Structure 1
Amino acid sequence: MSIKILTILTLLVPTLSAFSQEKMVSVNGVNYHVLTTSLEQRKPSQPVLVFENGMGMGLGNWNTITDSLANDAPVFLYDRQGVEKSEMVYQQPTPQKIAANLKLLLKELKIEPPYILVGHSMGGIYVRAFAGYYPNDIAGLVFVDPADFTETKADWNQIFRTIGVSEKQIDEMLIKRLYTPLKVDSSRYAAWSEGQVLTDLRKTDFAELSSLPIPQVPILFFVGGKLEVPMERRSKDYDHERFFEVKNSSNMLRWRRFIHASSKGGALIYLSNSGHFVHRDDAAIVIGNIRMMLKAMEK
């Protein structure tokens, strides 16, 4: 195994108590783009905020909240394989592989546990995986409008039954969603391959993730309640607004159960004026709740 660090750029960004370092880190011969803030001021056993981006998104998507949070805790951000400055890898980014890569990155940078994992969208899948494979490393979990890793095919079908879609249509939509092959998009391979991984997980009702332990730590879910699909892209076969409402309600029921699986509890925050990018639409609320989580851990 060959692991080395290649520092290509260091950014000194003074704030009240934080500065950032941007690096390229090589793990098993693959270079990853990494940004850390406030690590030098880390106190003994203080949790580090570790961020997983949405599907095909770069680490800059978190900039609405990370600068502020870096005054409260050390921050680690990175781009997964093939995203932004990180090197392309033509392999399926399965949850187990991504978790193992992240573990190696943190280890090489000498960023020891505990971690508070924060994941948006597809990043929520990867946060759930890391927390399950390395539960003893985790101090808290934060899911920002995540892809629903608790969903089953039966759950999905029931949403459409609730809004009055016929069984024939439901079967046709399920085949199109999960079993219709898509041509490889080599120009956007990172996002395409993550989408394929998500589809494969849905086919198995997320068996890999549901078999993993849930760490006994505080858990936060932030849920966007605003439908952002443009009118011209909404379904002509069913009421898209009603679908979004029922789907959100179904997801939140299962996410509450996930929270209750931890003895440390947590919260589900529904933000009716936020879309999928909750951390950008309601940054202050996301920052405030993560700060409360950090404060509670100091006691």
Structure 2
Amino acid sequence: MHSEEESTFPTTFVDVGGYHLAAFCSGSGSPTVVLDAGMGDTSEVWYQVQENISQFSRVCSYDRAGIGQSESGPLPRNSQTIVNELHTLLKQAGLPSPYVLVGHSFGGFNARLYASQYPDEVLGIVLIDSAHPDFDLVGQLPPEEPGENQGLHEIRAVLKQETQETKNPEGIDPVASAMQVRSIPSLGTIPLVVVTHTSETWIEMLMNGFPGFPRELAAKLDHAWQEGQQCLLSLSSQSTQMVAQHSGHYIHHDEPELVVQAIRNVIAMAQVDQDTIYG
């Protein structure tokens, strides 16, 4: 997608336990902003966001094991595996905390788990249309039937891959990952910004991407997703929501400037918090 631009970010290959992950860092200063993509996505999806963040802070994207320029890691994989790898990567690469963790979709699982296990390292979190472990989108669909609408069939296959099965490009076990994240009831006072798509835009994109998919089912899926977004706000006593007016699920692609603003906002929230504590 952005292969030519991606090469403008220096590449570092980091040993995280006998295999190497590719990290792409740019900019300078503190905090270090860490970008974690959705399932099956490489660091390339962050290009526009990273280019902007590097103007005011240190920022790093990376390819998880088995995709992009990174080597494969041991299977099975889940969010805990990924958090272990990311923690090692950041230390081995000499990338200092505090971190602002930015997670899209499945990447939101990893950000939450990392923050719960290393709270002293995390300045704030930005969740971009993040998945929620308690919302079963496949369960929102009617029972599978032979000869069902092609759009419905394709949506079902995508959702199953991301929430029920391990047959995804990274070999991730989404069920185990959801259980790990579900065990975290709260992130305390860590500043949190939840960035969410607008319903109508997402519904239109879903119907265009999967022709024939019924609008009423698209609306039902979106309603469940929006409920999950509201629940994410309860993870921290310092949380706020930003709504992307012109985006589908890939807000960092459709409205990168909004994601950059969310990152600025969470840094500002953390600074206010520190000023309050230390006077």
Report the TM-score when normalising by structure 1. Answer: 0.72
How many Å separate the matches in 1 of 2:241 and 2:164?
Answer: 35
- Residue 64 of structure 1 aligns to a residue whose secondary structure is helix
How many Å separate the matches in 1 of 2:58 and 2:193?
Answer: 19
Whichever residue aligns with residue 66 of structure 2, its letter is: G
Is 2:227 aligned against 1:250? Answer: yes
Larger-Rg structure: 1
Aligned to 1:137: 121
Match of 2:66 among 79, 82, 85: 82
Is 2:100 aligned against 1:124? Answer: no
Is 2:181 aligned against 1:209? Answer: yes
Aligned to 2:25: 36
- Residue 48 of structure 2 aligns to a residue whose secondary structure is coil
Q: CA 1:189/1:288 → structure 2, altered by over 3 Å: closer, same or farther? A: closer
How many Å separate the matches in 1 of 2:131 and 2:224?
Answer: 12
How many Å separate the matches in 1 of 2:269 and 2:35?
Answer: 20
Whichever residue aligns with residue 68 of structure 1, its letter is: N
Q: CA 1:29/1:295 → structure 2, altered by over 3 Å: closer, same or farther? A: same
How many Å separate the matches in 2 of 1:48 and 1:298?
Answer: 14
How many Å separate the matches in 1 of 2:223 and 2:247?
Answer: 17
Query: Any stretches of 5+ residues in structure 2 without a counterpart?
Result: 1-5, 144-155, 273-279
Whichever residue aligns with residue 50 of structure 1, its letter is: V
How many Å separate the matches in 1 of 2:232 and 2:72?
Answer: 33
Does the CA contact (< 8 Å) of 1:117 and 1:127 recur in 2? yes
Q: CA 1:215/1:81 → structure 2, altered by over 3 Å: closer, same or farther? A: farther
How many Å separate the matches in 2 of 1:255 and 1:138?
Answer: 17
Aligned to 1:22: 11
- Deviation of the 1:156 alpha carbon: 7.6
- Residue 252 of structure 1 aligns to a residue whose secondary structure is helix
Q: CA 1:277/1:283 → structure 2, altered by over 3 Å: closer, same or farther? A: same
Does the CA contact (< 8 Å) of 2:78 and 2:176 recur in 1? no
Match of 2:174 among 198, 203, 207: 198
Q: CA 1:181/1:156 → structure 2, altered by over 3 Å: closer, same or farther? A: closer
Q: CA 1:248/1:272 → structure 2, altered by over 3 Å: closer, same or farther? A: farther
How many Å separate the matches in 1 of 2:118 and 2:37?
Answer: 19
More divergent stretch after superposition (242-251 vs 67-76)? 242-251
Deviations 1:264-295 (A, max 9, x none): x1211122421000011111122122223324
Q: CA 1:83/1:215 → structure 2, altered by over 3 Å: closer, same or farther? A: farther
Whichever residue aligns with residue 83 of structure 1, its letter is: I
Is 2:263 aligned against 1:290? Answer: yes
How many Å separate the matches in 1 of 2:130 and 2:229?
Answer: 11
How many Å separate the matches in 1 of 2:194 and 2:23?
Answer: 25
- Residue 117 of structure 1 aligns to a residue whose secondary structure is strand
Q: CA 1:288/1:92 → structure 2, altered by over 3 Å: closer, same or farther? A: same
Whichever residue aligns with residue 293 of structure 1, its letter is: V
Q: CA 1:66/1:117 → structure 2, altered by over 3 Å: closer, same or farther? A: same
Aligned to 2:85: 101
Whichever residue aligns with residue 199 of structure 1, its letter is: V
Q: CA 1:215/1:37 → structure 2, altered by over 3 Å: closer, same or farther? A: farther
Match of 1:49 among 33, 38, 48: 33
Match of 1:230 among 207, 213, 221: 207
- Residue 65 of structure 1 aligns to a residue whose secondary structure is helix
How many Å separate the matches in 2 of 1:27 and 1:241?
Answer: 40
Deviations 1:218-240 (A, max 9, x none): 1011111222223555546x822
How many Å separate the matches in 2 of 1:181 and 1:94?
Answer: 13
Q: CA 1:106/1:277 → structure 2, altered by over 3 Å: closer, same or farther? A: same
Q: CA 1:234/1:221 → structure 2, altered by over 3 Å: closer, same or farther? A: farther
How many Å separate the matches in 1 of 2:107 and 2:135?
Answer: 19
